[in-house]
Structure 1
């Protein structure tokens, strides 16, 4: 059985590889996505993120400067929250706030992602 941090580490690694299948395994199918790309509000399902990652992969976006780090991760019982800093993702710096739950199968999954780009 993994802990919440393991899924967050996998999320970071899959994002850096633009691995949509790996990312999809980190999230629940109905995960939400909310945040800001600069001044533009983004609200929807996690499929919006997957679509963007697929587009980046198809365009051959250079991810060599990408670096993701876990700023914090804390679990209480079957729920957790994590803060992830992503530098060099799509040419920007992001702060992601992830909410996670451990399902009845014992696996941690991300149920919501809120994000913002940093100046």
Structure 2
């Protein structure tokens, strides 16, 4: 089928701090992915309920609202099992049992290359 381009995988960035979210959106797009963004776990759930094409959720752990990033990760794994999860925090230590199966943790500050590489690894 000539003319059809391969769709870029979609990553949902969930981060309550505007500058950190904007930076993550920029470097994930620069790595070749499409990006959606949410300022809270509640907003992320609304987006996930409305779409069926999200491949990865990249979430901060400490966020205001009805759930933090760890609860969001559990909700995503329970309702949307194929979606990959990357959680990050500069304040919370995460053990192997804190995230659901296949969930990854990256401590802040992280490098854009580290996150881009991890996303690529998870969706191939």
For Structure 1 versus Structure 2, the TM-score category normalised by the shorter chain is under 0.3
RCO higher in structure (CA 8 A, sep ≥6): 1
- Normalized per residue, the structure richer in strand is 1
User: Under a length normalisation based on structure 1, what TM-score does the superposition of the two structures give?
Assistant: 0.27
TM-score (norm 2): 0.27
